[in-house]
Amino acid sequence: MNKPMQEWTVDATWGKIAMVSWGNPAKPPMLLVHGFMDSAATFILLLEQLPDTHYYVAFDMPGHGKSDPFPPGLIVSQVNIVEVIRLIVKHMDWKNFIYMSHSMGFVIGIFYNHLFPGKITKMVHIDPAAPISVYFYVHNTVRRWYEHLYDIYYSSYDRWNEGSTRRLTLDEAVNLIVRSRSISENQAEVVLSRCLVPAGDGKFKLSWETRMKKIAAAAISEETFYTVMTQHAPPMLIVQASENIVVGPGREFAANILEKCRLMLPNFQSVTVTGGHDVHITHPESIAPHIEKFLKPDRDCRFLRCKL
């Protein structure tokens, strides 16, 4: 990667937020927000394909990568990560910035934009269908959602808060990620680059906090979710993977939400690329041209109503 990289931390009341950037800080800023049980490293291969036109800044969510976890106790909500972004934007002293996300980072971004309208000038979301689909269950099967999340968490509270004692060799860790995310060994090594903690005897602990596997969706209705997504919406590019991982009624729910946005928002664009949920890792070269085109400063998306 030709872009200069720098690492630092931002102070929060619960600990340190691990930051990493690529590029020239004098250029327009872009915040990169990873998804469920991931880290800032998820964007490395994509950034190798993007031009040096922006200052790319990413962070590890609490309990992920190199960031400290939230204090033990209550279930963490996706909305809690909005506070993390608020602290980062304040630390960076950004008046405006572009927001790019993968998966769950989409939900966090639309909540931030709803609470702080006007800060985000453009949004790029990579394969957001899965986190959108969760909101079908929040609204339509409340008991099932509650039991799956809260009953399981609080009935095994110590298990979720004590963390994993599993120790892995590098090869074991790589093979685990290859199997779970359907990526190559080289790609898995990139994903793991911010998540391996030496544990002695040539073995490692994965830094992902067990409790974050139960991160909660906000308890809101479909109507509220749609309002959050569309009110004050900046120009938005949705990059969907052709291999949809969503199953069940949540799949149609997510498709309907995105279709409503396409029809109603003049600044909404969508493109489908060949690949799976981690297409930004497996085929970054197929995504980068769409993002580059969308981000060009002479492209006024306010008057576009199209589906690529």
Confidence (pLDDT) at 139: 84
User: Looking at residue 306, what is its pLDDT?
Assistant: 40
Within 13 Å, how many C-alpha atoms sit on residue 79's CB side? 10
Side chain identity, residue 182: S
Residue 298's pLDDT is: 61
pLDDT at 233 exceeding the cut of 70: yes
Distance, in Å, from the CA atom of 256 to the CA atom of 105, rounded to the nearest integer, reads 20
- The mean per-residue pLDDT over the stretch 230-240 comes to 95
Q: How far apart are CA 153 and CA 151, in angstroms?
A: 5
Q: What percent of the chain has pLDDT over 90?
A: 86
pLDDT in the model for residue 304: 42
Domains of the chain by start residue, with CATH = 5-163+209-303 (3.40.50.1820)
Q: What residues pair up with 98 in beta bridges, in sequence order?
A: 30, 122
Task: Write down the mean pLDDT value for the chain.
Answer: 93
Mean pLDDT of 90-111: 98
d(CA 85, CA 59): 9
CB-CB contact of 126 with 287 (8 Å): yes
103 labelled catalytic: yes
pLDDT winner (highest mean) among 133-142, 177-186, 261-270: 177-186
Q: Which of 103, 180, 193, 242 is catalytic?
A: 103
**Average pLDDT of the residues in 6-27:** 97
pTM above 0.85, yes or no: yes
What does 58-82 look like in DSSP terms, one character per residue?
A: EEPPTTSTTSPPPPSSSPPBTTHHH
When pLDDT is averaged across residues 267-295 and rounded to a whole number, the result is 96
CA distance 158 to 277: 31
Q: What's the pLDDT band for 129 if we cut at 50, 70, 90?
A: very high
